[in-house]
Homo-oligomer: A and B are copies of this chain.
Amino acid sequence: MNRIQPTVSAENLTQFETLALDSSMNLADGHARQQLTSAQSKIVAELPDMWAEAIMRPVSEIEQEAAESFFGMLGQHSHPFAAGRTLSCYSSSLAMEILARSLVTTSDAIALLHPTFDNIPDILAGVGLKLIPVEEEQAHDDDLPAELLEQVGCVFITTPNNPTGRVMTEARLRRLAEQCAEYNVVLALDTSFRGFDTAAQFDHYAVLEASGCRWVVIEDTGKLWPTLELKIGWLARSANVDLPIEKIHSDILLGTSPLILLMVKRFSDDGADGGLAELHRTIAEHRALVRAELAGVPDISFVDEQARVSVERLHVGSRMGMDVWSAVRSQNLYVLPCQKFHWARPNEGERMLRLALSRNPSTLLAGAEVLRSALLDTPERHR
């Protein structure tokens, strides 16, 4: 057993994901890479017809249909597209960049969920915002402290969270929104993974609007369906948000592709017509498959028992996550080490790995076998 760690130059989780892109056993990134369903394949076969349709029709009409279908599929009936407050972006991360650039014009600090995917803190810090961690337990269980709300311009929550899958309940969202309204703090939500969990599909926009708080929501079509990075990130905002979001959006893009918007509409309509339920069954089967394959390995656990999202955290017990990561990498399997999710205190993630579930079962099975054998071979390490 070689315990020397290979040199890994990855500076963030995305660079860890990049290492995996050409591997046949890529369980690293959270992008959807499972097979198209037969209904989805039919939509793809019609892309040339959709191209012809996109040329003929006004793009604003296509965009509205895509938004209605996507937000409708997810139960977000009070979304503000018709009010002109939903902007389409090339991706949710670009929506994040636009939000960050907008926030820093009026704030110097932000309260951010901890842990969460590291490109959120990196983008926010990259534009110059000071980050104050809000522990997941605190965000879900208690009011936020007044002294925190007094020093930030925004509270940012990922729900369902990546990687934990934890969903903010309607009651907690309502209370948090009320607090944000009271302190005149923007409440920003990243709901990119909400499609996987019906618990995250209550009408968030109705709750946010009722609170009267200033709010922004980032939605994402990109995590659900294997659409080859053709996706839309939506950036929705309240009427009272008072941030230069529309101007900064227009500095970076005129609009998204009408072909992608038509495709999103079609995938959403199929989702509402049973496709989303089928996806939930698929992810549940994949989760069960991985857990079954690793059953009996001593000193491991699946940390997020309630998770429904397309990623799964594995606690590797007294092993070090990077030891396991290196061992499976030598077998061409890529997973994500979890330190960088814990952006304020990376050591809290050092004994966990994140596995992507939105893959074909054969890939998951092969990966889980490699992982099982690596776990059995990886020694304990105490700090």
Contacts and interface: CB of A to CB of B under 8 A. Distances in A.
Interface of A: 11-12, 14-15, 17-18, 21-22, 29, 31, 44-45, 47-48, 51, 54-55, 58-61, 90-91, 93-94, 96-97, 101, 119, 122-123, 126-128, 226, 228-230, 247-248, 250-260
Contact of A18 (B22, B48, B254): B254
A188 to B, nearest CB: 17
Nearest to A122: B251
A81 to B, nearest CB: 15
B59 A93 contact: no
A58 B21 contact: yes
A60 to B, nearest CB: 5
Contacts of A15: 247, 250
A12 B254 contact: no
B58 A252 contact: no
24 contacts: A11-B247, A14-B250, A14-B254, A15-B247, A15-B250, A17-B254, A18-B250, A21-B58, A21-B59, A21-B60, A21-B255, A22-B61, A44-B51, A47-B51, A48-B48, A51-B228, A55-B228, A93-B252, A101-B127, A228-B258, A228-B259, A229-B256, A229-B259, A230-B257
Given A14-B251, A18-B254, A230-B259, 14 more contacts: A11-B247, A12-B250, A15-B247, A29-B254, A90-B94, A96-B252, A119-B250, A119-B252, A127-B127, A228-B257, A229-B254, A229-B256, A230-B257, A230-B260
A323 B204 CA distance: 45
A30 B33 CA distance: 35
Contacts of A228: 51, 54-55, 257-259
A252 B18 contact: no
List of 9 A-B pairs having minimum Cβ-Cβ separation, nearest first: A229-B257, A90-B90, A22-B58, A14-B250, A47-B47, A228-B259, A122-B251, A93-B252, A119-B251
A291 to B, nearest CB: 27
A261 B126 CA distance: 29
Nearest to A52: B44
A158 to B, nearest CB: 16
Contacts of A60: 21-22
A332 to B, nearest CB: 13
Contacts of A257: 228-230
A255 B20 CA distance: 12
Contacts of A90: 90-91, 94
Contact of A251 (B44, B126, B258, B259): B126
Contacts of A258: 228-229
A93 B44 contact: no
A96 B230 CA distance: 21
A207 to B, nearest CB: 29
Contacts of A250: 11-12, 14-15, 18, 119
A55 to B, nearest CB: 8
Contacts of A48: 44-45, 47-48
A286 to B, nearest CB: 18
A252 B229 CA distance: 13
B97 A252 contact: yes
A274 to B, nearest CB: 23
Name the residue in A55, A90, A91, A119 with the highest tally of chain B Cβ atoms < 10 Å from its Cβ: A90
Nearest to A29: B254
Contacts of A94: 90, 94, 252-253
